[in-house]
Amino acid sequence: MMNLKATAGDSSKPVSGEDQYFDEVNTTIGKSLRTLEEMLYALEGKTEVNEPVAFATNALFALEFHQRSNPKYYESVLFPIIKSKADYLHSEGVASTLWALGQLEQVDESLVETIVDAAADKKFGSENTYLTHKQYNLDEFTPVKDNHFSERTASPEVKSLFYQDGIHVVELYDGVKNLLSKPLSSQLTDKLNTLKHNIEENHPSIRDTHSRYIASTVPVLEEAAE
């Protein structure tokens, strides 16, 4: 995750290559989010929606992360997919979904409980396996023998976050904390507190990592011109 800030409209200052790049990224993100919203509009009109659960969790996370919340489509399209296919979620899907649910004003307790139950079976911090295609074969993969090529030049903290699944632990922890700040049933509160305790026990530095990292996870995006 990163902060992306569109360049200011001061034409008297030269536009750097970096600023131009971020403007282009902002434009692409804006168009992609609008396309996603159009897809959800089309799916809402179907009598049966059978999209992959990864589509639903990624869509939910992307819309909440970029402050494009749309509870109407969540309840009619995304939530039913996630509830019916929660058993197939991997750790990233569990973490990003719980984070997104923690951003909402209205809590769907049955969905939150489903995700919390799914989290109990995940081993956050040790599930990443990097694969590469077998030679001349697009359908079979083999584990990468050495570090991921980008990992070799990354700092220890970046390695921990992005190559040792740490980013998902932070998202999961932030989602739990946000949900616990809302009025919930005692049963769900107990489950969330148990999950929070388990995260803190398995990741002793999570409080410090969370406080340093989470401030940089909310993007600063300006709607790009059409």
pLDDT tens-digit map of 108-166 = 999 999 999 999 888 776 555 666 777 777 777 776 666 555 666 667 666 666 665 57
- Evaluate whether residue 195 is within a structural domain: yes
- Evaluate whether residue 137 is within a structural domain: no
Q: What is the pLDDT of residue 34?
A: 93
Other CB atoms within a 10 A radius of the CB of residue 217 amount to: 15
Q: What is the pLDDT of residue 167?
A: 81
- Evaluate whether residue 226 is within a structural domain: no
For β-strands 131-133 and 141-143, DSSP reports them as antiparallel
Asked if pLDDT for residue 38 goes beyond 80, the answer is yes
Among residues 144, 205, 133, the alpha carbon closest in space to that of 169 is found at 205
- Evaluate whether residue 64 is within a structural domain: yes
Judge whether 143 and 131 are in contact, CB under 8 Å. yes
Q: What is the pLDDT of residue 15?
A: 57
Which range marks the domain in which residue 97 is found?
17-128+164-216
Task: Return d(Cα 147, Cα 209) in angstroms, integer.
Answer: 23
45-63 pLDDT, tens digit per residue, is 888 888 999 999 999 999 9
- Evaluate whether residue 23 is within a structural domain: yes
Q: How many domains does the chain have?
A: 1
- Evaluate whether residue 69 is within a structural domain: yes
Task: Return d(Cα 206, Cα 223) in angstroms, integer.
Answer: 33
Largest interatomic CA distance in the chain: 59
- Kindly report the pTM of this predicted structure: 0.76
- Could you tell me where the DSSP H helices lie in the chain? 17-44, 53-65, 71-73, 79-84, 91-103, 109-119, 156-158, 166-180, 186-202, 206-213
- Evaluate whether residue 43 is within a structural domain: yes
- Evaluate whether residue 103 is within a structural domain: yes
Structure tokens at 8: 């200011």
Q: What is the pLDDT of residue 213?
A: 79
Q: What is the pLDDT of residue 176?
A: 96
